[in-house]
Amino acid sequence: MPRILTLLLISIAASIGVQAQVLPQLKREKPDLEEIRRATLDHTSPYYYPRLMKEFQRNDTLMKIDKFRHLYLGYMFQEDYHPYRSSERTITYDATLNRSKNLTRQECDSVIAYAEQALSDNPFNLGEMVMLINALRGKGKTNLANIWQYKLNYILMSIVSTGTGLDEENAWYVIEPQHEYVLLNMMDYSVSDHVFYDPSYEYITVRNADGKDSGGFYFNIGPLLEEYYRKHPDEL
């Protein structure tokens, strides 16, 4: 494993709370989306999507990376999938705001109520998930906050498992554009620029916590666009 990738994984793990022993188990490979589609639609498969989603919603911490990977990427093949669906609230994906701001108890109540509603509509609204975790901790609901943190950790690790993010060939796969920003902010980067490359790659340049340019990362949004246009051919 290249040293830069090792350091990157350690940085991600530290930022999102994943224990170091998870790193050797994190296999990074381009996903076989056709295999994931078949497995999540097959009711005899351990990755059958309705069962995966029920397990995810049970609020336990037994699911591991293989199931999270199928849960996350397999969502693209569910009929209610819409990559550009987002909450009505405008969220600034700023690491300082979302993870360090001290909310009043009244603000916590409002954030929790709204975030829970948003997540019931879209279980992969990661921006709302970050805000929910922050608000739960503000209310002293540590156990529930830890459960949601576990879910967020493994969703982000599912993205990281799809490649290195260091070039187009090894670009990270996301199922919603906002996930690019959530992942980078959880790694304590701020976005400085965003460029689209044909046919379906986005390159996001970033700055570190000190405001220094820190290169950038590639994301593959081809499958996301394919599924979107399959369901919305009038927008082609």
Task: Say if residue 234's pLDDT is above 90.
Answer: no
By DSSP bridging, strand 172-173 and strand 213-220 are parallel
Task: Say if residue 135's pLDDT is above 90.
Answer: yes
For 144-190, write each residue's pLDDT tens digit. Answer: 999 999 999 999 999 999 999 999 999 999 999 999 999 999 888 99
pLDDT confidence of residue 204: 97
- The model's confidence at residue 9, banded by pLDDT at 50, 70 and 90, is low
- The model's confidence at residue 66, banded by pLDDT at 50, 70 and 90, is very high
- Percent of the chain at pLDDT exceeding 90: 66
Task: Say if residue 7's pLDDT is above 60.
Answer: no
Q: Cα–Cα distance between 127 and 185 in angstroms, integer? A: 10
AA identity, residue 172: W
pLDDT confidence of residue 101: 66
pLDDT confidence of residue 92: 46
Taking the model in full, what pTM does it have?
0.86
| Contact call for residues 208 and 188 (beta carbons, < 8 A) | yes
Task: Say if residue 23's pLDDT is above 70.
Answer: no
DSSP states of 68-111 as a string?
HHHHHHHGGGSTT--TT---SS-----HHHHHH----HHHHHHH
Q: Cα–Cα distance between 134 and 120 in angstroms, integer? A: 18
